[in-house]
Amino acid sequence: MTRIHGKSILLGMGFGTIFTALIGCIFFLGYTPDMDEAKVKTLAKKYGMIEPGELAQISVNGRISIEVEESDTLAEIAKKLNDMGLLTETMQFQLKVLNQKAEGKILPGVYEFTGNEDEQEIIDILTGVSP
Q: Please write the tens of the pLDDT for every residue from 68-96.
A: 998 899 999 999 998 888 888 889 999 99
Listed in sequence order, the DSSP H helices in 4-103 are: 6-27, 37-46, 74-83, 90-99
CATH of domain 52-127: 3.30.1490.480
How many CB atoms are located within 10 Å of the residue 77 CB? 23
**Whole-structure pTM value:** 0.53
Q: Could you state, in order of their start, the residue ranges of all structural domains in the chain?
A: 52-127
- List, for residues 106-121, the tens digit of each pLDDT value: 888 888 888 888 899 9
CA 12 to CA 27: how far, in whole Å?
A: 22
What are the two backbone dihedrals, phi and then psi, of residue 123, each rounded to the nearest 5 degrees? -65, -45
Nearest Cα residue to 73 out of 54, 51, 57, 93? 93
How many CB atoms are located within 10 Å of the residue 64 CB? 19
